[in-house]
């Protein structure tokens, strides 16, 4: 390789290391566990037998009926809107986009406009059985 070639490669590596090339949102959003930790863990646990937080434990939530975590006091609004509903990936996506649209008056104070972040987190939750 020529001197100029080496200098070019070194320069490009320097740019990479400095973060000048940022990953597209899609690639960043694939780490669902990390996103869960950042976006949800302040209120929700997933570990089996973890104590309830501000929100109910989410282990196994994908596919289960809403509002079934024992010992968690769901709001009346949540119970009314989600009675007999199960958490499919589609319903979870709507929920995370705007919980107030799914259960007006719910206590969950969080919403996520980015579909890539929502789907990465839902994917992660579907593995937490």
Which residue among 29, 32, 46, 67 contacts ligand HEC (CB under 6 A)?
67
Binding mask 1-30 for ligand HEC (x = CB under 6 A): ------------------------------
Region from 4-12, 15-23, 25-33, 72-80 binding ligand HEC, contact rule CB under 6 A: 72-80
50 binds ligand HEC (CB under 6 A): no
- Per the CB < 8 A criterion, the answer to whether 21 and 15 are in contact is yes
Which residue among 29, 46, 66, 120 contacts ligand HEC (CB under 6 A)?
66
124 binds ligand HEC (CB under 6 A): no
- All residues at 6 or more sequence positions from 20 whose CB lies less than 8 Å from its CB, including other chains: none
107 binds ligand HEC (CB under 6 A): yes
Closest listed residue to residue 31, CA positions, set 121, 113, 115, 126: 121
Which residue among 29, 56, 119, 120 contacts ligand HEC (CB under 6 A)?
56
Rounded-to-integer distance, Cα 35 and Cα 125, Å: 11
- Per the CB < 8 A criterion, the answer to whether 40 and 121 are in contact is yes
- Per the CB < 8 A criterion, the answer to whether 47 and 60 are in contact is no
Angle at 32 between CA 27 and CA 37, to 5 degrees: 125
Using CB under 6 A as the criterion, which residues of the chain lie in contact with ligand HEC when the complex forms?
39-40, 42-44, 54-56, 58, 61, 66-69, 74-75, 77-78, 87, 92, 95-96, 106-110, 112, 121
């Amino acid at each position: 390789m020529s001197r100029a070639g080496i200098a070019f490669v070194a320069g490009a590596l320097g740019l990479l290391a400095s973060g000048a090339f940022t990953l597209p949102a899609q690639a960043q959003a694939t780490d669902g566990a990390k996103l869960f930790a950042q976006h949800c863990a302040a209120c929700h646990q997933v570990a089996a037998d973890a104590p309830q937080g501000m929100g109910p434990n989410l282990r196994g939530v994908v596919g289960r009926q809403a509002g079934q975590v024992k010992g968690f006091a769901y709001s009346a609004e949540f119970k009314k809107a989600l009675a007999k509903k199960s958490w499919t990936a589609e319903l979870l996506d709507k929920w995370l986009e705007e919980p107030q649209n799914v259960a007006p008056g719910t206590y969950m104070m969080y919403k996520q406009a980015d579909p890539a972040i929502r789907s990465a987190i839902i994917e992660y939750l579907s593995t937490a059985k």
